[in-house]
Structure 1
């Protein structure tokens, strides 16, 4: 009986530890105060609520990414999202004062969500749409990867133990997906890789479906082509990755 009771306790401790491995987030909503001469700004991102090195890194990284998207004047410094919204608003107002009849209302929509988490790694996807005039706005996606054990943000290369061979593998798969003939230049079907050489995108993220490579609009193709992405099942790329991924 004592053995069974001890096993039961260990079982609940194990389950509790498994649950504790997941971070807790709360939604954070920020919007521009309504006014006649203000751009339409809305932000919805997850906020990590524990007070640890990791959560501070996550929240700071999200804040810095949003500030970089909204900061209109490079000569100004903004340390908060609210200050960045103010900068974005001033940019719109200045342009409207100069071109009153030609300035369409600016818009900024930013939202974030967790797309992958295990005991060691976390990925947050940050989506943004900005319109500051012209024929159309610009949408972009950013993957933010974190090492939960070290409490740090990961650079793309840190996701891999064999980056060189992964890039070769990715190019082969990219050519197959996009119907680019073997032996032909990577831009032979209309892509716009610099120096006509394949390279990995700025955005590589862990998702439930697999490892995703994402080229945002204009990165390697025209605006009309939209974002270009390819997802690799973890079983196909695990030999290249620095950590074991729970698929």
Structure 2
């Protein structure tokens, strides 16, 4: 009996360890009803299944980012994606009630995709387009990185052994890619870094091709220039990463 219990315990431990890194998703779509000349919202994201800490962390992080994207007046009390969708439509109706000339319907499209996953890390990109009047809408990307083993979201400072060292390295690569002289202001060729100093973008994400630095339109250049991307192969980035990857 004792040996049987020991065997069962060992099996349980092995199964638990094997399942620790397991993660599955199912598609989640939230959208307004389709109609002509109506404000529209469409959200399509991967929803992590199960009740693990990692699943809850991923779903909570995605929800928080999307609620923020749909928050037009910064006073919304939305606590779910459904509430955020309804608040976006309500804000449009409120605005057109006060300013009937602002009658162009609003639009919000948000799509989530997994850009990288292995046993240690998963990165999800949220790509969005939001139009709330004016000459054009605004497209943006958010990269969310997660530690699969510990079930936590990773912020910029969590990704590197030494953030300052990586910034110096990234600046050299950025100058080379954009043909900016090694000496002198980072804005010599027309970029718009504040304080004339290089800084990392708000968005960093793991991809199959390497670590992606993603500067949004307006972040360091004009809207017409679009996003500025720098992909650093893992063979170069691994020296600085807390989570190095196979090249």
Q: TM-score, normalised by structure 1?
A: 0.89
Aligned counterparts, 1:45-194, within 5 A: 45-194=45-194
Counterparts of 1:20 and 1:160, CA distance in 2: 24
Check conservation: 1:26, 1:46, Cα contact below 8 A: yes
By how many angstroms is 1:138 displaced?
0.3
**What secondary structure, in the 3-state scheme, does the structure 2 residue paired with 1:116 have?**
strand
**Contact 1:40/1:107 (CA < 8 Å) preserved in 2?**
yes
Determine if contact 1:116/1:124 at 8 Å carries over to the other structure: yes
Q: CA deviation at 1:62?
A: 0.4
Structure 1 unaligned spans of 5+: 1-12
Residue 41 (structure 2) pairs with residue 41 (structure 1): yes
Corresponding residue for residue 6 of structure 1: none
Q: Is the 8 A contact 1:38 1:89 kept in 2?
A: no
Shift of 1:182: 1.6
Aligned length: 233
In the TM superposition, residue 20 of structure 1 has moved relative to its aligned partner by: 7.4
Deviation at 1:38, TM superposition (A): 3.7
Q: Does the 8 A contact of 2:200 with 2:213 survive in 1? A: yes
In structure 2, the gaps of 5 or more residues are 1-13
Moved more, 213-222 or 155-164: 155-164
How far off is 1:37 after superposition? 6.7
Moved more, 64-73 or 90-99: 90-99
Q: Secondary structure at the match of 1:83?
A: helix
Moved more, 202-211 or 91-100: 91-100
- Structure 2 CA distance, aligned partners of 1:147 and 1:141? 20
Contact 1:37–1:93 (CA under 8 A) maintained in structure 2 = no
Runs of 4+ in 1 over 3 A off after TM superposition: 19-22, 34-38
How many angstroms apart in 2 are the aligned matches of 1:194 and 1:183?
Answer: 17
- Looking at structure 2, the residues matched to 36 and 128 of structure 1 have their Cα atoms a distance apart, in angstroms, of 21
How far apart in 1 are the matches of 2:218 and 2:244?
33
- The answer (yes or no) to whether the contact 2:21–2:148 under 8 Å persists in 1 is no
Farther-moved stretch of structure 1 (171-180 vs 26-35): 26-35
Q: CA offset at residue 68 of structure 1? A: 0.4
CA contact (8 A) 1:38 1:92 kept: no
Counterpart Cα distance in 1 of 2:38 and 2:80: 19
The Cα of 1:222 is off from its aligned counterpart by 0.6
Look up the SS of the partner of 1:28 in the other structure.
strand
Q: Is residue 159–residue 243 contact of structure 1 (8 Å, CA) maintained in 2?
A: yes
Instruction: State the distance in 2 between where 1:238 and 1:34 align.
Output: 47
Asked if the contact 1:147–1:153 (Cα under 8 Å) also holds between the matched residues in 2, the reply is yes
Structure 1 counterpart SS, 2:95: helix
